[in-house]
Amino acid sequence: MAMWRAAAGHLLGRALGSRAAHTSAGSKKIVGVFYKAGEYAEMNPNFVGCVEGALGIREWLESKGHHYIVTDDKEGLNSELEKHIEDMHVLITTPFHPAYVSAERIKKAKNLELLLTAGIGSDHIDLPAAAAAGLTVAEVTGSNTVSVAEDELMRILILLRNFLPGYQQVVQGEWNVAGIAYRAYDLEGKTVGTVGAGRIGRLLLQRLKPFNCSLLYHDRLKINPELEKEIGAKFEEDLDAMLPKCDVIVINTPLTEKTRGMFNKERIAKMKKGVIIVNNARGAIMDTQAVADACSSGHVAGYGGDVWFPQPAPKDHPWRYMPNHAMTPHISGTTIDAQLRYAAGVKDMLDRYFKGEDFPAQNYIVKEGQLASQYQ
């Protein structure tokens, strides 16, 4: 298939069959790493994306004779995850509380065959190492695209309308209209550019159309011409030429070695003074200190998103304390609706894995030593 490219020439020479997903049979040890819900676990029966909910598949797995261990303890040699690495067959993790799967961990995992992401984005895995080891890596493509696109639109409006200082005034018993209005703007008539126009980027552009914005996008591939015309979006081949045109910039590109640190001090300086940036993609795409400095200087009028590096973000992370931000924990893609979609997707892939069947083609990130094109 066109979407698959060799990860590297030396990977193809490895003996892959012994750890490929399609060879699985018998009882399996499956480890899930999710965030802990605590008191909130009982408040919604559809809250399945947490440790307590365990994707709603525990009874199903155990009825088939499989061993299912779920934890939120994922860091360090003494973590619960580390205790099971050597003999687990499947690891399920999530971008919202990622288990970082390094080359060292993959080397220890002698029985590991399958790495599943409950959601979208598998950059928490050392993908070349997974390919070299003959592992299958897959995610639930499309499961939370609507959730993330809606969240991006919300953050654009929150930042443009200077909503958060107004909310804080109310909570603190204050009333100062001027303190909000002096930097509040309409979305209509603004130029919005998305860096990346895949599933989420396209949905965002479609949702922005009714606001009568000028819409730009930069990507390695152009949108279908009919959809591009319908949305009214203009393709920008040169990213650095697009940036100064934009009042709002939204990051919608995956984290790869090429995009890591993509927005550094020099690139941020090319943006229009007073720009709004929204990033629900991955925190490591940004130079952390450069973003904080640009917000402090006023060159960036507002920065919003839900992605950090690392995650969970340390208490001294500079984005917690920079001015004019709309940051939250990583929540955009883990709405209840999204949880139900990615839980169903994980169950479907596990069922196919047990039966020795292929997954939906778009779900593969690593298959038979090859990486999906977006991670090249």
DSSP H or E segment with residue 327:
strand 325-327
For CA atoms 360, 364, 368, 373, give the dihedral sign. Answer: positive
Enumerate the known binding-site residues for NAD(+). 145, 199-200, 219, 254-258, 280, 306, 330-333
pLDDT for the residue 90: 98
Domain ranges of the chain: 29-141+335-375, 144-327
pLDDT for the residue 25: 57
Cβ(283)–Cβ(325) below 8 Å: no
Q: Which residues contact 126 (CB under 8 A, 6 or more apart)?
A: 101, 102, 103, 106
Which residue in the list 162, 252, 279, 311 is annotated as catalytic?
A: 311
Strand-pair partners of 101: 125
pLDDT for the residue 15: 38
In 158-294, beta strands by DSSP E: 191-195, 214-218, 233-235, 248-251, 275-279
What's phi and psi for 317, nearest 5 deg?
-60, 130
Enumerate the known binding-site residues for substrate. 120, 144
Q: How far apart are CA 313 and CA 200, in angstroms?
A: 24
pLDDT for the residue 3: 40
Cα–Cα–Cα angle for 57, 63, 66, rounded to 5 degrees: 75
State both tokens at 103. Answer: 């080359």
DSSP H or E segment with residue 117:
strand 114-117
pLDDT for the residue 99: 96
pLDDT for the residue 21: 53
pLDDT for the residue 373: 83
29-141+335-375 and 144-327 have identical folds:
yes
pLDDT for the residue 375: 81
**282 in active site:** yes
- Top CATH class, 29-141+335-375: alpha beta
Enumerate the known binding-site residues. 120, 144-145, 199-200, 219, 254-258, 280, 306, 330-333
Look up residue 50 and give its DSSP letter: B
What CATH architecture is 144-327? 3-Layer(aba) Sandwich (3.40)
What's phi and psi for 116, nearest 5 deg?
-115, 135
**183 in active site:** no
In 3D space, the residue among 212, 291, 296, 293 whose CA is nearest the CA of residue 251 turns out to be 291
Which residue in the list 330, 339, 352, 363 is annotated as catalytic?
A: 330
Q: How far apart are CA 115 and CA 101, in angstroms?
A: 9
Cβ(212)–Cβ(188) below 8 Å: yes
How far CA 245 is from CA of 191, 217, 248, 273, in Å, comes to 7, 11, 9, 11
Cβ(365)–Cβ(138) below 8 Å: yes
Q: How far apart are CA 284 and CA 17, in angstroms?
A: 34
Cβ(343)–Cβ(49) below 8 Å: yes
Q: How far apart are CA 122 and CA 255, in angstroms?
A: 9
In 3D space, the residue among 97, 162, 106 whose CA is nearest the CA of residue 130 turns out to be 106
- pLDDT tens series, the chain, 376 aa: 434 433 433 333 333 444 545 444 589 999 999 999 999 999 999 999 999 999 999 999 999 999 999 999 999 999 999 999 999 999 999 999 999 999 999 999 999 999 999 999 999 999 999 999 999 999 999 999 999 999 999 999 999 999 999 999 999 999 999 999 999 999 999 999 999 999 999 999 999 999 999 999 999 999 999 999 999 999 999 999 999 999 999 999 999 999 999 999 999 999 999 999 999 999 999 999 999 999 999 999 999 999 999 999 999 999 999 999 999 999 999 999 999 999 999 999 999 999 999 999 999 999 999 999 888 7
**320 in active site:** no
**279 in active site:** no
- Residue whose token pair is 């490929």: 20
Which residue in the list 89, 282, 325, 341 is annotated as catalytic?
A: 282
pLDDT for the residue 19: 52
Strands across the sheet containing 4-6: 4-6, 370-372, 364-367, 136-139, 114-117, 90-93, 29-33, 67-71
Q: Is 212 left (phi over 0), alpha (psi -120 to 50) or beta?
A: left
pLDDT for the residue 193: 98
- Residue whose token pair is 């001015």: 323
